[in-house]
Amino acid sequence: MKTGLVIQSTGKWYKVATDGNISDCRLRGKLRLDDKEVTNPVAVGDFVDVHYEDDKTGSITNIHQRKNYIPRQATHGRRGEQILVANIDQAWAVLSVRKPKLKTGFIDRFLVTCEAYEVNPGIIINKIDLAGKKDLNMLDDIHGLYKGLGYKIIFTSIEQPDTLVTLKQELSQKTSVFIGPSGVGKTSLLNAIDPSLNLAVGEISNYSNKGKHTTTFARLIKLKDGGYIADTPGIRELGLVNIEPYELSLFYPEMKKYRNDCKFYNCTHSHEPGCRVAEAFEEGLIHPDRYNSYLNILESLEVENRT
């Protein structure tokens, strides 16, 4: 029996690193049935105990307790949650200025998830070489907003190597994850940071102007300067899980300090009288874009609760 790190998941099989060796492992049947609310009981980044068979493959017999993880709603109509990655030091939302177009709604859902699951977040806006004058004004606003809230935000382009210096430093000696839509350049960034990886890079569809999936399964990639990066399949929507509508404001730092002064303990800050959060918004203490994104996410959670 050995303890190893899950570095790749392809469904039924997992690649597990133990003592410098990598082996193909299956999940013992009992563990598959233990948690029916999770579509993947074992996730990339998990530490597991492995019993090896005569043919050198292994059986995962135990999953160690996670320090944290990032979930999303299960896809393809399945119930429950899908764990994207476990046991990470930091998570980065990766979006592009153009091709595909930047959507701040994704950033806010990502930040809510990180706040809820105790993951240290950061934001990468890639392909800044494509930015026009209007884009630059937008980027200034986005930088001011999220940095003002205490979040790390980095602008990058593989065409401008000097923009990669800070990101390279941030990734060194840490276990990190890139999360974002297909086509934003996650894999290209990794190749630029560590050319020895030589990862396959996808293209942007001329028809939809959206990215084609390059990474089709989650994997943990070792960086030459130390640390790991979890590369995940492209995600267009980051569905929130296990968050009640009245809890949502807990994960907006600028709202958290006002919510206890609301008239009702379960105030959703959308329509109730005596809402201190809504008053703070009216007083200009909460940015309109953030308050509107909060209302959009709140509505989606309320719809989910009714179904």
**Average pLDDT over the chain, rounded to an integer:** 88
Average pLDDT, integer, range 129-138: 95
CB 182 within 8 A of CB 236: yes
Length of the chain: 307
CATH topology of domain 2-65: OB fold (Dihydrolipoamide Acetyltransferase, E2P) (2.40.50)
CB 190 within 8 A of CB 200: no
pLDDT of residue 34: 54
pLDDT of residue 202: 58
Domain ranges of the chain: 2-65, 84-231, 245-306
- 208: pLDDT strictly greater than 60: no
The model's confidence at residue 123, banded by pLDDT at 50, 70 and 90, is: very high
Average pLDDT, integer, range 111-135: 96
CB 37 within 8 A of CB 245: no
The pTM score is 0.88
* Peptide bond before residue 100 is cis, with ω within 30 degrees of 0: yes
Q: Which of 60-64, 88-92, 201-205, 237-241 has the lowest mean pLDDT?
A: 201-205
CATH number, domain 84-231: 3.40.50.300
> What are the tens digits of pLDDT across the range 78-92?
567 888 899 999 999
- 215: pLDDT strictly greater than 60: no
- 162: pLDDT strictly greater than 70: yes
Q: Which residue has the tokens 């430093």?
A: 169
CA distance 127 to 122: 17
pLDDT of residue 211: 41
CB 108 within 8 A of CB 123: no
pLDDT of residue 192: 95
- 30: pLDDT strictly greater than 80: no
Q: Which residue has the tokens 């029916």?
A: 36
- Of all residues in the chain, the percent with pLDDT exceeding 70 is 90
Class of 245-306 per CATH?
mainly alpha
Average pLDDT, integer, range 219-247: 86
74 C-beta neighbours (distance < 10 Å), count? 17
pLDDT of residue 31: 65
- 6: pLDDT strictly greater than 80: yes
